[in-house]
Structure 1
Amino acid sequence: MTEKLYDSQRYAREFTANVQSVSPLEKEGQWAVVLDRTLFYPEGGGQPADRGSLAGLPVSDVQLKDGRIVHVVSGAAPQGEVKGIIDWERRFDHMQQHTGEHLLLGAFFRLFQANSCGFHLGEQVSHLDLDRTELSPDEIFQAEALANEMIFANRTVRARLLAEDEDMPEMRKKPTKAFQALRVVEVEDFDRCPCGGTHVEKSGEVGLVKIIGQERKKGRLRLFYLAGKRALLDYERKNRDLTAIGALVSMPPTESLAAVEKQQDKMMQLNQRYAQLQSRLAELLAERLLQAGEELAELRLIVHLAAPEDGELLDELSRQLTQREKALFLLAGEDPRSGRKQLFFGRSADVALDMKQLLAAVQKQRGGKGGGTPNLVRLQCQEEWDMSELLEMARQEALKLAAQK
């Protein structure tokens, strides 16, 4: 058994220990090192492993296996007495996140009897799962506010081992299996539950806890949160962004939301008006193209290469032409969304030609990706294709198709 120094020495950053065993791992130059004691916290309970160095060698992972804590070390195999140094910035961040989780869960349990059914301490964002499918925004805010009240109250956070023969204290969550010694973490007069992770000694060291998102996950409510320095950095970034948005709309940051909403309403109105004008323009262009189209036996063949600035008209123009009479059209231009060249082959409902046949004939000669329905298809073109040449090829194939009818 490895002595867990991190249980009793929360703020220690360095230690000495004796190497008990060294085993080579599959990756060349990596070793599994077991010590008689360690400050390195192994991955477990939703909390990632500590990082740092051992005998000057980087420790890239720490795992608990059969009561022994295994350190993954890169370099020469360490022997004898060694010095270990943990990455304190990472460790303290984990202490803040994990204690923040206890404060939030204690608040949700006290206010709404919602309990934990999952936890993950992430590299950037952590999450906790509640045995609820839904809580209102106001309820979530109340729990967050209570957790922060406990931070400001600077409550003591204790950890102790509970023997199997001791009376079980009142806890938010009871152990689900038998134990010889159970580690219990308690936030003074607020929360108590089994936990093997690392925590701060005073709740005030968490600084701040902030819920930043939620989702439903397998019948649970998953809440994403930040604590400590992570929450501070998130606030600084958002405050910086809000100040910049305020400057863009010439308003104080606290009033920028209303200004943005007002501009958004104006933009929606402009977009609606723009769509109406585009539709009218496409309608006028459809009339002009029909009048100038090539007369065949019982239809008009329209061949049109759109100017670059008119590429966004092609969808609406195609729709307009399919609603006309005796129209067979071949349109080319650039997709305004992707900038890629594209072709439209279409016909009105009273023309008995299958545009998918025309598409297949062109693809047989040039390739390209495309698809659609018998009355309208689209072909995505290669950048190097000459669109005028391609339109003429499509025209020849369309004439062949029409002659077969």
Structure 2
Amino acid sequence: MMTRKLYYEDPYQLEFDSTVTKSDRDEHGPYVVLEATAFYPTGGGQPHDTGTLNSIKVIDVEEADGEVRHYIEEEFPQNGEDVHGSVDPKRRIDHMQQHSGQHIISAVFDDHYGIPTTSFHLGSDTVTIDLDTNQLSEELLQKAEEQVNNIIRRNIPVEARWMTADEANEYPLRKPLAVEGEVRLVIIPYVDYNGCGGTHPASTGEVMAVKFLGWTKSKKQVRLEFVCGSRVLEKLDQKHRILTDMKQLVPRPEEQLVEEVSEMIQAGKEKDKRITELEEQLLHYEARHIISETKGEPVIQRVFKDRPIKSLQSLGKTMIEEASDTYLILVSEQEEQLQFVLAHGASIDRNMNDIAKQAMPLIDGKGGGKPHFVQGGGKKLMDGTDFSNRVKELL
């Protein structure tokens, strides 16, 4: 027996009583089929409803093999049980607003700009449609958004009507029907005539408003992101709270925030550049100091505590520029690992990779590099000084 689909009879009916006609499970979990249901199953770009059956959560609703399957957190004990269903009203109304808003947006782009919609996705945060064009100008977006909101404000009735395919083809359909036999036509008079299985409000005014959020290129088309209805207010509230917090940090009027933050970012970049220059100078001073302390020794060894490998590399490169006839062993000793740099100046002809390959088994390490400059690391199986001395012995 086919399930009676209450969501088509009255999309505003969110409470209902029914009877379980089947109780089973599949790869998605336990599910029940009901004699009648107000739960909308995923389909046509619109996600499923959620809610409860006898206080048991309905976490998914899918149509499969001619059945409307309600996936639930717990199994019902047997068929024939009477149930009370309750559909989450916020989610249902939200989906109705987003879906009808999409119909109006697609109609405006198609009718006024010759840009058809090729796909639709109703996400949990925003909605997207793919438009068959390679770009959208800011001027076009502003005009289209205004036209969409004008249609919403006109509060035009929205009607969903079942009819034969032949009857539906008498209307100015936006695209050819993909099914034969009986079809459900969603009608917004003089705006849109579309075969659609989704839930819709009684009038365009219930969509409230539409706000375009931007677009990106998707393959050879454009993906437009937007929100409708209560999501517009949620986005406004979100952005208002962000701006309020920003003004606590940057006490300037809203219209000057972008300029002020841009100046702060630029000042930060200049400071970062100056810090980098100073760090390079410090490295040169440190390299010269270490070299002067060694008084011409052929091998320079240094063990540091928790020094980052990048800093170790920078110090090593600076030192071999200053000491062309010297070997270099730099080790960073950390809590659970050792990292190292092995190098020599330009006057020495030797492949440090050969030394590293002999040294790395001491710490179960990995590494590599150029013949004159090798870096690597491994486990702290010995302290940094012992490792440095063992490498010196290999040299």
For Structure 1 versus Structure 2, the TM-score category normalised by the shorter chain is: 0.7 to 0.9
Deviation of 1:266 (Å):
0.8
> Counterparts of 2:144 and 2:382 in 1: how far apart (Å)?
61
Deviation of 1:383 (Å):
6.7
- Secondary structure (helix, strand or coil) at the match of 1:25 reads strand
- Secondary structure (helix, strand or coil) at the match of 2:201 reads coil
Residue 192 of structure 1 corresponds to 193
Please say if 1:375 is aligned against 2:372. Answer: yes
Q: Which moved more, 1:386-395 or 1:194-203?
A: 386-395
**Count of aligned residue pairs for this structure pair:** 390
Q: Which moved more, 1:43-52 or 1:103-112?
A: 103-112
Please say if 1:241 is aligned against 2:220. Answer: no
Alignment of 1:70-89 (within 5 A): 70-73=69-72, 74-79=75-80, 81-89=82-90
- Secondary structure (helix, strand or coil) at the match of 1:47 reads coil
Residue 23 of structure 2 contacts residue 76 of structure 2 at CA under 8 Å; is this kept in 1? no
Cα RMSD after superposing both structures: 3.1
- Secondary structure (helix, strand or coil) at the match of 1:10 reads coil
* Alignment match of 1:301 (pick from 299, 302, 311): 299
Q: TM-score, normalised by structure 1?
A: 0.84
Q: Which moved more, 1:277-286 or 1:141-150?
A: 141-150
Equivalent residue letter for 1:320: T
Deviations 1:13-62 (A, max 9, x none): 1123344x314214798243142x32111111111211223344433322
Distance change >3 Å, CA 279–CA 89, structure 1 → 2: same
Deviation of 1:241 (Å):
1.4
Q: TM-score, normalised by structure 2?
A: 0.85
Residue 341 of structure 2 corresponds to 344
Percent of aligned pairs with the same amino acid: 29
Please say if 1:144 is aligned against 2:142. Answer: no
Residue 14 of structure 1 contacts residue 83 of structure 1 at CA under 8 Å; is this kept in 2? yes
Distance change >3 Å, CA 77–CA 352, structure 1 → 2: farther
Deviations 1:89-128 (A, max 9, x none): 2211211221222233223223432222222222333322
Residue 291 of structure 2 corresponds to 290
> Counterparts of 1:320 and 1:107 in 2: how far apart (Å)?
64
Residue 294 of structure 1 contacts residue 301 of structure 1 at CA under 8 Å; is this kept in 2? no
Residue 29 of structure 1 contacts residue 76 of structure 1 at CA under 8 Å; is this kept in 2? no
> Counterparts of 2:41 and 2:288 in 1: how far apart (Å)?
74
Equivalent residue letter for 2:25: L
Residue 117 of structure 1 contacts residue 130 of structure 1 at CA under 8 Å; is this kept in 2? yes
Q: Which moved more, 1:258-267 or 1:373-382?
A: 373-382
Equivalent residue letter for 1:288: H
Q: Which moved more, 1:87-96 or 1:202-211?
A: 202-211
Equivalent residue letter for 1:265: Q
Residue 243 of structure 1 contacts residue 252 of structure 1 at CA under 8 Å; is this kept in 2? no
Equivalent residue letter for 1:314: L
Residue 54 of structure 1 contacts residue 85 of structure 1 at CA under 8 Å; is this kept in 2? yes
> Counterparts of 2:138 and 2:314 in 1: how far apart (Å)?
42
> Counterparts of 2:337 and 2:109 in 1: how far apart (Å)?
52
Distance change >3 Å, CA 76–CA 385, structure 1 → 2: farther
> Counterparts of 1:292 and 1:366 in 2: how far apart (Å)?
29
Distance change >3 Å, CA 226–CA 328, structure 1 → 2: farther
Equivalent residue letter for 2:161: R
Residue 356 of structure 2 corresponds to 359
> Counterparts of 1:375 and 1:137 in 2: how far apart (Å)?
56
Deviations 1:202-253 (A, max 9, x none): 2232233333354433433223333333332232122211221222122123
Deviation of 1:384 (Å):
8.0
Equivalent residue letter for 1:40: F
Residue 44 of structure 1 corresponds to 43
Deviation of 1:277 (Å):
1.8
> Counterparts of 1:206 and 1:123 in 2: how far apart (Å)?
17
Residue 174 of structure 1 contacts residue 193 of structure 1 at CA under 8 Å; is this kept in 2? no
Residue 293 of structure 1 contacts residue 303 of structure 1 at CA under 8 Å; is this kept in 2? no
Q: Which moved more, 1:159-168 or 1:133-142?
A: 133-142
